[in-house]
Amino acid sequence: MDGGAMNFAILWPEIITSGVGVLVLAVGLLAKGETLQRSRAAAWVGVLATVAAALAAWNLQGRNLTAFFGGYRLDDLAVFFKIVVLLAAGMTLLFAPDFLVRHFVRPSDFTALVLFGVTGMMLLASALDFITLYISLELISLSFYALIAIQKGEVRPAEAGLKYLLLSSLASAVMLYGMSLIYGLTGSTYLEAIPKAFGSGQWPLLAGVGVLFILAGLGLKVYLVPFHMWAPDVYEGAPVPTVAFLATGSSAATLAVILRLFEGSFAAAGGVWVPVLLVLAIVTMGVGNLMALPQTNIKRLLAYSSIAHAGYILLAVAAGGSSGAAAVMYYTLLYAVSTIAAFAVVSVYSQAAGSSDIQDLAGLARRSPFLSFVMLAAFASLAGVPPLAGFMAKFTVFAAAVEAGLLVPAGLGLVISVISIYYYFQVIRVMYVSEPRESTPLTFGWGTRVALLLGLAGILLLGVFPGPALHMAQTAVAAGLF
């Protein structure tokens, strides 16, 4: 296969993040003491690395080439998702130190693991064969096993870490089985060889089974019902910054590979997976939104909200076509920005309150108007209120579904999404109307402030001026998936 030779120049974003990650780990070991100043320095170095990597990725736009003997694809789709995951990592590292220092976690360890995780995510967005794909996915999972259980000596994070380890391994096993079936039938691990091997004819039954197994394995990572069970428990038990990164970065990278596989390699087998994915997407929306209603813990609520949003995104995947793929990309970006902003607020208030119950948000508007305004914007955006980013994202998804002739699923999705307004605004009501239990103002560091401002700016700008991001997504899709 002619897939281009070794081309290290296109790996700059990954080289920067992995190199700085190793460096932070090494320097963190050499430096003595647990001072606040040093720990913040490690996180800021991580933030700078993500910014540098994002600039490097931005510079690689418009290349659209395949390298490393057909195993690695650098196109605008990959660049888009690389920037999204770098944004998620950077924002997480901005607000993480406040939380970490309070919970006696060494921020250099956290920073290094986030940088390794984001390296895996960027590689996953570019993976063009099953082996690169699997190794990148494992790099992400390994980073998260440690990130989830990083609070040494505490039971809940350890429990969450073990749950993630077990279910993630299960997902990997199922996905590998699916890959082995496809490999057995095509004799190639390259994604672009799959459609060529089967031609335009009917796909054999075993290939269909393989496709569905891969869908199940990847579905677990993006909270596709019925593989979503782990999400609420892991969200509740894991440290807040880890959850913010898990909810956004991990699912964004997985969606990149879902697009490449299902809109590219498995497009001809649409008859097998589209009906399954359509039904599961609608069930995912329904389960996510309905189960979010009775939640009393904000982290569990955000977990079910993530599940519901996965439903919308997968509806766009099922709709397919260039508008479906562009909708997936735009939605992922908006979801990442809104969710991280919400988690940054959760991180601040849950440290002060010592719990993450929604009741403890009471009177947040009077204790910290800025925090509650960011939360309001994030939740209104996730609920899809115009003119915020969430509205445009939902609009593009449902428009893509209608364009693909999926009128009934689009209608069902619209009706289900109305439910979400109730639970998001329930939280906003507690923040603005309920009497505060304490009146001490909430304090937070500069990093958190920058993360909150970035989130707010993203939510407003992506909503009012969706043009540039949408245009970037559409050009990326137009350039083709391999």
Nearest CB to another protein, comparing residues 32 and 37: 32
Nearest CB to another protein, comparing residues 197 and 450: 197
Q: Does residue 137 contact residue 172 with C-beta atoms inside 8 Å?
A: yes
Q: How far is the CB of 374 from another protein (least distance, A)?
A: 36
Q: Does residue 370 contact residue 443 with C-beta atoms inside 8 Å?
A: no
Distance CA 356, CA 326 (A): 35
Nearest CB to another protein, comparing residues 26 and 464: 26
Q: How far is the CB of 35 from another protein (least distance, A)?
A: 18
Distance CA 266, CA 273 (A): 9
Q: How far is the CB of 392 from another protein (least distance, A)?
A: 42
Tokens, residue 365 = 């508007």
Cα dihedral 67, 72, 77, 83, rounded to 10, equals -100
Nearest CB to another protein, comparing residues 108 and 396: 108
Which residues on neighbouring strands pair with residue 127, listed in sequence order? 72
Nearest CB to another protein, comparing residues 22 and 173: 22
Q: How far is the CB of 237 from another protein (least distance, A)?
A: 20
Distance CA 465, CA 256 (A): 23
Nearest CB to another protein, comparing residues 197 and 419: 197
Question: Residue by residue, what is the 3-state secondary structure of the chain?
Answer: CCCCCCCHHHHHHHHHHHHHHHHHHHHHHHCCCCCHHHHHHHHHHHHHHHHHHHHHHHHCCCCCEEECCCCEEECHHHHHHHHHHHHHHHHHHHHHHHHHHHCCCCHHHHHHHHHHHHHHHHHHHHECEHHHHHHHHHHHHHHHHHHHCCCCCCHHHHHHHHHHHHHHHHHHHHHHHHHHHHHHHHCCCECCHHHHHHCCCCCCHHHHHHHHHHHHHHHHHCCCCCCCCHHHHHHHHCCHHHHHHHHHHHHHHHHHHHHHHHHHHCHHHHHHHHHHHHHHHHHHHHHHHHHHCCCCEHHHHHHHHHHHHHHHHHHHHHHCHHHHHHHHHHHHHHHHHHHHHHHHHHHHHHHHHCCCEHHHHCCHHHHCHHHHHHHHHHHHHHHCCCCCHHHHHHHHHHHHHHHCCCHHHHHHHHHHHHHHHHHHHHHHHHHHCCCCCCCCCCCCCHHHHHHHHHHHHHHHHHHHCCHHHHHHHHHHHHCCCC
Nearest CB to another protein, comparing residues 117 and 232: 117
Q: How far is the CB of 181 from another protein (least distance, A)?
A: 12
Which positions touch another protein (CB under 8 A)?
Answer: 22, 25-26, 29, 184-187, 197, 204
Q: How far is the CB of 82 from another protein (least distance, A)?
A: 22
Nearest CB to another protein, comparing residues 22 and 293: 22
Q: How far is the CB of 203 from another protein (least distance, A)?
A: 11
Q: How far is the CB of 123 from another protein (least distance, A)?
A: 15
Nearest CB to another protein, comparing residues 185 and 402: 185
Q: How far is the CB of 11 from another protein (least distance, A)?
A: 13
Q: How far is the CB of 246 from another protein (least distance, A)?
A: 23
Nearest CB to another protein, comparing residues 153 and 187: 187
Q: Does residue 137 contact residue 258 with C-beta atoms inside 8 Å?
A: no
Residue type, 24: V
Nearest CB to another protein, comparing residues 204 and 271: 204
Q: How far is the CB of 26 from another protein (least distance, A)?
A: 5
Q: How far is the CB of 188 from another protein (least distance, A)?
A: 9
Nearest CB to another protein, comparing residues 84 and 112: 112
